[in-house]
Amino acid sequence: MHDYSIDNHPKEKILFGLAFIAITVAPILNVAVETGLGAVEGLSGIPAPPVTAIPVFALFIGLYHLFNHKLWKSAWVRKILLVPDLNGTWLNWSNGSGHFN
């Protein structure tokens, strides 16, 4: 996630949104894992391993990584964030002295 312009960039809002999602989803995910393991234990008779809580920070890091490497490149996110698509092949013409022609 690069700041192409420092004017009115929503980076802080994106980070806040990812943190909010992580804080909201982590407890729900913990309950779902505990319920699923309890159901498996009930059906199989094999004792379920003790469940450790999924840390909110780990979920935030996962969401940030997903957003940073995949989501922000999608067309609808670029449209919302007003980030130009700079993907592609770039050509550079130089006279060899380090100055552009």
Cβ atoms 94, 100 nearer than 8 A: yes
Assigned domain for 94 exists: no
Assigned domain for 46 exists: yes
Per-residue pLDDT, 3: 55
pTM, 2 dp: 0.62
Domain membership of residue 16 as a residue range:
11-81
Give the total number of structural domains in the chain. 1
Assigned domain for 66 exists: yes
Assigned domain for 91 exists: no
Per-residue pLDDT of the chain (101 residues; tens, 9 = 90+): 555 555 666 778 888 989 999 999 988 988 888 888 888 888 888 887 776 677 888 899 999 999 888 887 788 887 877 777 777 788 877 666 665 55
Per-residue pLDDT, 51: 67
Assigned domain for 89 exists: no
Assigned domain for 100 exists: no
Per DSSP, 100 falls in state B
Assigned domain for 95 exists: no
Per-residue pLDDT, 9: 65
User: What does the angle CA 76 – CA 78 – CA 79 come to, to the nearest 5 degrees?
Assistant: 60
Block residue for tokens 């022609």: 101
